[in-house]
Structure 1
Amino acid sequence: MTIPVILDTDIGFDVDDIWALSFLLKCPELDVRLITVCSGEVRYRAALVAKFLTLAGRTDIPVGLGISTKPNPQTHANWLGDYDLDNYPGRVYEDGVGALCDTIMLHQDAVRLVCIGPLTNIAAALQTNPDIVNHARVVGMHGSIKRGYLGAPKPMREFNVVQDIAACQAVFKAAWPKLITPLDTCGTTVLSGENFQRIATSPLETNKAIMVNHYDWFAKIAEWKRMNSLAEHLDVNKQSSVLYDCVAVYLAFASDWATIERLNIEVNDAGETVVSDQGNAIDCATEWVDEDAFLKFLSQRLAS
């Protein structure tokens, strides 16, 4: 039996979301019922999702516009081109938060709510219909517990949390099952060698789209002072960027290659995710059991 899934994504800034979207569509374990977009200019993000779904032959999946927030750079604009969301043959919900609530409540089995962006939409959904906590499980890419970006030996404030701290606090406090991949595990997830070349040389249109956005994203971040070190750390022709969000997609249906610990996590007002007696019980992927196996699996799924 497949698992019903809703994806909530901030696709179009960091490039890992488009990798995660493709991975999601390649997982037969998961039945994608809705994709909502969050943060920044949501019509741009929805258009990216719609164009990719069209390319993948998955226009059966509806797209929902979430809550717009302060804009951030549109790193996928070149690939998007003049694509118009109005031309998407599938269904587009202007009220993505309402569609998210309705989709959750339609299912008797718990929907996996895969959250790979700031939690603005999810917090709004909790306010719209608090009963969704009884019908969904949250799987997210959020936080940093013992390690930070690129495996740094100390926790750091993680982007998705910091972009909407209050929303993350609300979602983490809500009484639904929660499973996250913090930077401790997802912060080192890079395809290289054969795993990367399998995608870079793939004839599939979805993988060609990934690679266009891969190169465009690296070109963009090379212009940003804050991202220079990352651009220098990774070789654009030999490896992917850090594919944080792909780990959350994997955890929606399996966890064999990761160590899962139930920890009491508090999101403080600085956006730090700390283990605390005042925290809420959250299952956290804190270590890899076999990261190499996951990376090979991810690459093979994307190339399939």
Structure 2
Amino acid sequence: MHKYSPVFPAATQIIIIALCASHFLVGCMTASAAAGQRAADSRKPVIIDTDVGSDFDDSVAIMLALQNDELDVKLIVTATNDTTARARIVAKYLLATNRTDVPIGIGLAVNNCRQTLFSWADDISLDSYQKDHGGVVHEDGVQSMYDVIKASAVPVTIVAIAPATNFPALLKRYPDAVHRASVVAMSGSLYRGYGNSSQPAAEYNVWQCAVCSRQMYTAGWALTTTPLDTCGVARMYADSFDLVLGGLGPYSTILLASWIRWCSESGSSACSLAPLITDVFYDAVAVTLATSQGAKFMDIEARKVVVTDDGHTVISESGTEIQAALNWHEGGTGLSAFQMWLGGQLAKNSASSLP
């Protein structure tokens, strides 16, 4: 099959080549020192539950979480399809950013379908990642989720940015997890659908396993979501994406390298428009909601929601009450502010800004 080859503007190509060739090793060596300077005890412990390797928004969300000063990423657990292949992608990101201190959990595999970015990490051996680089990989990702939750002195936030296929096993094996954790999820569609349509849709993470999502919604823990109403319009434009292109650090370098590969494999039309516009970064909004910035950018309101068998999230008096980010604030404090903030976050820990 003919593969789509994105056409990047000349200036963008020059910047990306410089990033990937000149700053990769320098950035990797300095990132660890910067991470060590963070005040870990004041940060919120989080678990990232991700289907990284399909759409690119998971990659953006992981990089955002790893760099955010408010979040302490205790575990990244993979979900759906070939979860071991997804773990190799996570390992490649952690190696490049010198963050092998973050454990990886291999979640429940659904099938072995190859996804867009899988081949990018085919050169990663999880055995070597552990033996030669000091990384930690847990074969039972659900068990590792509970181990983090149980060991934490404060409640853990699970940032769910994948179909909820790991949640039924977690809740069945460890029902007390609902008293020790909360969930922030990219999930559902309440008033608006894909493309900012006025017609709500069966959002992907929900309809992929509606039964799983229903269990996540009704478990009894605090649940906050960014439905398509807010995350569905979370693109980046030139003014914010230029911050990432100019970051020259380990996070932006590996992110852009994987983005180029994702574009060549996915055929996304948004890639040919970069840096004027990006694809939708749905999952980055969920990570943002896990920080104090979420309430600064979005209106978060209580709604009672039912998950239907066909994957819709319907507002109903008989539903479970959740907190949902329904709208971006108007004016300069909403979506545009988020876009600039996201660009700045992804460009953090650049070689030029580190001591």
- Equivalent residue for 2:107? 66
- Equivalent residue for 1:212? 257
**Contact map agreement 2:107 2:142 (CA 8 A) in 1:** yes
Matching residue within 294, 298, 301 for 1:258: 298
1:42 aligns with 2:83: yes
1-structure distance, mates of 2:272, 2:327: 22
2-structure distance, mates of 1:71, 1:162: 19
Q: Which amino acid aligns with 2:79?
A: C
1-structure distance, mates of 2:347, 2:108: 33
Greater radius of gyration (CA): 2
Matching residue within 195, 205, 217 for 1:160: 205
**Contact map agreement 1:114 1:248 (CA 8 A) in 2:** yes
* Stretches of structure 2 lacking an aligned partner (at least 5 in a row): 1-41, 349-355
2-structure distance, mates of 1:251, 1:82: 34
Matching residue within 282, 286, 289 for 1:248: 286
Q: Which amino acid aligns with 1:270?
A: D
Q: Which moved more, 1:237-246 or 1:57-66?
A: 237-246
TM-score normalised by structure 2 residue count:
0.80
- Equivalent residue for 2:59? 18
**Contact map agreement 1:218 1:236 (CA 8 A) in 2:** no
Tell me the matched-pair count.
Answer: 297
SS in 2 for 1:120: coil
**Contact map agreement 2:82 2:114 (CA 8 A) in 1:** no
**Contact map agreement 2:48 2:77 (CA 8 A) in 1:** yes
Q: Which moved more, 1:78-87 or 1:182-191?
A: 78-87
1:80 aligns with 2:137: no
Q: Which amino acid aligns with 1:61?
A: V
**Contact map agreement 1:78 1:216 (CA 8 A) in 2:** no
1:119-174 deviations in Å (ceiling 9; x for gaps): 11122100110000000010000000111112112111111111111100001011
Shift of 1:83: 1.2
* Stretches of structure 1 lacking an aligned partner (at least 5 in a row): 223-229
1-structure distance, mates of 2:326, 2:152: 30
Q: Which moved more, 1:230-239 or 1:191-200?
A: 230-239
1:30-54 deviations in Å (ceiling 9; x for gaps): 1111110000101110011111011
- Equivalent residue for 1:149? 194
**Contact map agreement 2:271 2:278 (CA 8 A) in 1:** no
1:19-73 deviations in Å (ceiling 9; x for gaps): 1100001111011111100001011100111110111111111100000013444
- Equivalent residue for 1:281? 321
1:9 aligns with 2:54: no
1:254-277 deviations in Å (ceiling 9; x for gaps): 222110110001000010001011
SS in 2 for 1:33: strand
- Equivalent residue for 2:25? none
2-structure distance, mates of 1:238, 1:60: 35
- Equivalent residue for 2:266? 221
SS in 1 for 2:339: helix
